Amino acid sequence: MAELAGKVAVVTGGSRGFGREMVLAYAARGADVVIASRKLEGCEALAAEVTDRFGVRALPIGCNVSDWDQCDTLVERVYAELGRVDILVNNAGLSPLYPSLEEVTEALWDKVRAVNLKGPFRLSAAIGARMIADSGGSILNISSIASLRPDAISLPYAAAKAGLNALTEGFAQAYGPLVRVNAIICGPFDTDISLAWPEEIRTLVEDQIALRRVGQPAEVVGAALYLTSDASTYTTGALLRVDGGTR
């Protein structure tokens, strides 16, 4: 399959979980990929796998998206080495556990907001502007059902992801018609965040899902391909729930 041949896709948080699955999906369809994450070693390992399996270019970059300057460095390097970006996936995220809401520290609050909101803003602004100059592109934000169904155990994360939803609709208006901006509202998935759940939390979560299970990272790929390909040319500012029917 080569429907994305000649395209360049940038995926933050790209070495594991959702990011890894999307990187593999884009590469399998002919796109060159940029794999960005805090830990360069994981990016390099996946880049080698991608090049070996699919024969496309794969650029690994160590980047902490919570740092404004590192976001700018990422953008400059991608354009210097690959010349363009057609797809940006703001996937990097985190949701640390905390004992209670009153014990949430300023450092935790700032870290969660920076990774889940500040980084996507800066990358969308910088890359989206260049996409307009290059005649278009697609930005995909990976949000969470917590942004719509907030609870006490992940409130800083929920607030940041609600902000990401707002960025999705705002950038769609600001950068249209040439750049489309959409978001996937992910339900509970087996990613790094879920590894920290106690067993009783997992049981409670699954009882609130119509499909009675958490999702697997590969199950986000279909929605990601739809929202970042020509299959969705009249879709922008959309918040698509992929959550197993979470209530």
**Contact between residue 141 and residue 168 where contact means Cβ atoms under 8 Å apart:** yes
**Contact between residue 181 and residue 123 where contact means Cβ atoms under 8 Å apart:** no
**Contact between residue 4 and residue 201 where contact means Cβ atoms under 8 Å apart:** no
Token match 């640390």: residue? 96
Environment class of 14 (CB within 10 Å of its CB; exposed 0-12, middle 13-18, buried 19+): buried
Active site residues: 143, 157, 161
Query: What are φ and ψ of residue 181, in 5° steps?
Result: -130, 120
Q: Would strands 8-12 and 87-90 be described as parallel, antiparallel, or unpaired?
A: parallel
- How far is the C-alpha of 38 from the C-alpha of 166, rounded, in Å? 25
Contacts of 53 (CB under 8 A, 6+ apart): 27, 28
Number of residues in the chain: 247
For residue 177, cis peptide bond before it (omega within 30 degrees of 0): yes
- Cα torsion 214, 217, 222, 225 to 10°: value is 140
- How far is the C-alpha of 64 from the C-alpha of 51, rounded, in Å? 24
